[in-house]
Amino acid sequence: MRETSLTISRSVPRSQNVVSASLLTVVLLLAGCTTVSFHEKELFEGAGRVEEDPLPGVERTFITLSDGTGLETWVVPAPTPRAVLLFFSGNGGLSKAHLPFFREAVARWDLTVVAVHYRGYGRSGGSPTIETLASDPPEVLRLVKARYAPDLPLIVAGHSLGGYAALRCAGMPEADAFLIVATFTTSAELAEAWRKNLVPWYAAPFVRIDVDEEVLTLDNYEAVARVRVPIAFVHGTEDDVIPSWMSARLHTTCPSPHTLLRTIPDADHNTPLLPRHRQPTLEALAFLLSHLPR
């Protein structure tokens, strides 16, 4: 039996997935059977990337965790903020692609946006692990609340893997609302969805999915079940990385009295925050703002 390490972290056209499936079929016919593996290191492909270019209007600073690790933080400030948006990005890299979305949030609603990078990303210290992906966000939330929003409402937002990070703050009194964009239900269901998407039905009996025990701990059902504050889920219908039905399931699971699910036709994994498709995401943010404490 041969083992294949598979990483899917960015949206790709469906035609490329068809090609991938065809190539994988050839491999299976030659090899007899194969194992598709998902390991911890593949979750953090953006680690080590540093943004060197100037970022107009962005304050680049650090917040320091209790163990002394500094996390690079990009702040897009509002002159007189009405609320703060804490943002966690996906696993692919930094938040530069999302700056136009951040700036529009500042211009429309006077939100101060605080994007915090994971350990090992950008100029942040340390190295990312599944353990710190779960343990750091609650501490980050408390620090951001104290520094930027001591008397303001705070919305916790995340895209893709960042949705998992954001939901580690579920149930915390510092979180007044959540914006969850294109995230998953559980890593086990995601691995199975990838297998079905990439492997033709006639080849499925020859494929075994091998997921690290650490990776199998990623579960957002448990987190959304603790959410009682307003929460909005946004997902593109053409997302080939994380299928949109996962946001629908999380929405159904959540007991909050104020929930919203927005699916965006023709949007893929990354575009709900980009200019072409971000209007429904902005509308979801407006929904949250309308339900914040006054």
* In the chain, where the domains are located: 2-38+187-211, 55-185+220-290
Please determine, for residue 4, whether its predicted confidence score (pLDDT) is greater than 80. Answer: no
Tokens matching residue 74: 């990009």
Q: In this structure, how many other beta carbons lie within 10 angstroms of the beta carbon of residue 29?
A: 10
Please determine, for residue 170, whether its predicted confidence score (pLDDT) is greater than 90. Answer: yes
Tokens matching residue 163: 């949705």
* Residue 97 pLDDT class (50, 70, 90 cuts): confident
SS3 (DSSP) at 262: strand
pTM over 0.85: yes
Span 138-158, pLDDT tens digits? 999 999 999 999 999 999 999
- Give CA–CA dist 154/145, Å, rounded: 7
For domain 55-185+220-290, give the fold.
Answer: Rossmann fold (3.40.50)
Q: In this structure, how many other beta carbons lie within 10 angstroms of the beta carbon of residue 110?
A: 14
Q: In this structure, how many other beta carbons lie within 10 angstroms of the beta carbon of residue 212?
A: 16
* Residue 13 pLDDT class (50, 70, 90 cuts): very low
Tokens matching residue 276: 């072409």
The pLDDT, as a whole number, for residue 30 is: 46
